[in-house]
Amino acid sequence: MANLDTVRVSRTLHRTVEVQRVVLELSGEAPHQITREGAGLSVVLPGVTSSPSSQTLESGDLLGVEPGVVGGPAGTRTARTTVRLRTGGGTTEVFTLEDPPRVVIDTTTHTDPRVPPPIDPEGLPEGVTYRARGTLHLLSFDPARFQPRVVTAPLGAARDVAALVKAAGGVAGVNGGYFDPASHLPVDLVAVGGLMTAPSLERRATVGFTAQGGTFFGYPRPRYVLSGAFGTVTVNSVGAKVRPELLTAFVGDGHTAVGAEGLTTLYLTPGAAAVSRVVSGRNVPSGATLAFTFDPARFPQLPRGVGEPLSPTLNWQATDAPWTTAQDALSAGPLLVREGRVVVNPGREQFDTRAGVWRPTRQVAFGVMAGQPTIAYLEHGSPEAFAAALAAAGVRDAVRLDSGSSATAYLTGGYGGLGGYLNTVWSRPVPNAIVFVPKGHGAPAAVKP
């Protein structure tokens, strides 16, 4: 037989997250049973005596202790205590502690839906390091445990970064690459799994990842090149838009149509070396199929028959990094830090410093710090200020990924499992993100439309 000696209540506020802790201190070990209810929960303590009580907590929640007895075999009666907590919302976790025996009830409530919950520095996943340097926030990842990958929403759609992280089975993510807010289409290079899904402007700083998670930075100018019995031909552009004067490529998604009357589309399976299908007119390529559309009169050398030899290659056209090993890539810019030095050069990347993209605002970047891939978030400042803060913090290389209302960095877990953000305000949905997945994790599943 045990007694419920004391009920202690504490309340902690973390900006817009409230954590309320109720501790039931027992005189001895005792089992407990939890019943979840719409407005809270009940904890039943068989064999525990107590004194009745009821109180309204500082949070407004109701806490009641109800002693009682239950019948047993041969007419015996046993003490039982029920503790009822009416929370009216939030996420509740119940666990036990020893020496002395305690039952702990933690309720986490996100108090302001206009502001994202902050990350929990005390509850980081193993292998993740958080650092704050004034208004600069850094999340670094052990490369033996995690690797970065590019994850995208369906073509023309946008998702919040948390959804992209969860869809890929990741632990954290940061949005990346500029896009058209109206169409959600990227305006610069996106490559996923060795396939270029959005064309490059061929002038902006780019971050690339190998299949093993190796990271490099540079200025590639990637193009698809088709090789066959005729020789080689360079693909002009990437996208589903009809361009009768060009040879265009598109990575099928099973929804978007390519081609037009008078144009031919050749289907290729990635990794194969022959035409798998030939279609005239408007058509919808299946998911992950490479489709090349052209006017036969302008490109008479290209094959017209199924089974004819044809091999696609992604030619990175770069000498500043081992881009031939890249599987994923995102272009954004500017390059902020190189080998520990500030290297911001808007002219080199053709940024208009008078435009909004250069204004002082919140900023996100991807970099490498002490050999670990790192997500960086600056609460407010210019690209130059961001670069200076990163270099001062010891970041070796970094490229800005975005700024303004879409700049987002997210980490799973957090208070009550809500997840946490480096940004201080909610961010708009985005089409692309760099997501950290566990090392050896398979290719992320496609994000659902």
Encode pLDDT of 168-181 as tens digits.
Answer: 999 999 999 999 99
Tell me, what's the pLDDT at 36? 87
Q: CA separation (Å) from 214 to 4, 34, 270, 381?
A: 55, 46, 22, 29
Q: What is the pLDDT of residues 22-75, one digit of tens each?
A: 999 999 999 999 998 877 899 999 999 999 999 998 888 899 999 999 877 767
Based on the fold, state whether residues 434 and 358 are members of the same structural domain.
Answer: yes
Q: Which domain-ending residue is among 271, 287, 315?
A: 315
Inside any domain, residue 414? yes
Is 379 a domain residue? yes
Determine the pLDDT at residue 447: 66
Question: Domain count of the chain?
Answer: 3
Q: What is the pLDDT of residues 127-142, one digit of tens each?
A: 999 999 999 999 999 9
The domain that contains 50 carries what CATH number? 2.60.40
Whether residue 117 is contained in a domain is answered as: no
Strand order across the beta sheet in which 91-97 lies: 48-49, 2-14, 17-26, 102-110, 91-97
SS (H, E, C) 125-172: CCCEEEEEECCEEEEEECCCCEEEEEEECCCCCCECHHHHHHHCCCCE
Q: How far apart are CA 159 and CA 168, in angstroms?
A: 13
Q: Is residue 282 part of a domain?
A: yes
- Note whether 326 and 416 are same-domain residues: yes
Q: With 80 as the cut, is the pLDDT of residue 358 above it?
A: yes
In a domain, 261, yes or no: yes
Among 218, 187, 191, 180, which residue's Cα sits nearest to residue 201?
A: 187
Angstrom distance (rounded) from CA 21 to CA 357: 44
pLDDT score for 124: 94
Does 443 map to a domain?
no
Q: Do 327 and 214 share a structural domain?
A: yes
For 258-267, the pLDDT digits (tens) are 999 999 999 9
Residue 26 inside a domain? The answer is yes
Q: Looking at the structure, do residues 295 and 334 belong to the same domain, yes or no?
A: no
Domain final residue, candidates 285, 300, 315: 315
Q: Which domain holds residue 35?
A: 2-110
- 55: which strand partners? 63
Are 383 and 407 in a shared domain? yes
In a domain, 52, yes or no: yes
pTM of the model as a whole: 0.85
| 181 and 289, same domain (yes or no) | no
Interval 202-230 mean pLDDT: 96
Q: What are phi and psi of 192, to 5 degrees?
A: -135, 125
Structure token pair of residue 224: 């698809």
Tell me, yes or no, whether 311 and 169 share the same domain: no
- The pLDDT assigned to 371 comes to 97
C-alpha–C-alpha distance, residues 408 and 402, integer Å: 9
Percent of the chain predicted with pLDDT > 90: 80
pLDDT on residue 277: 95
pLDDT score of 349 more than 60: yes
The verdict on 327 and 208 lying in the same domain is yes
Query: Using one digit for the tens of pLDDT, what is the confidence trace for 150-200?
Result: 999 999 999 999 999 999 999 999 999 999 999 999 999 999 999 999 999
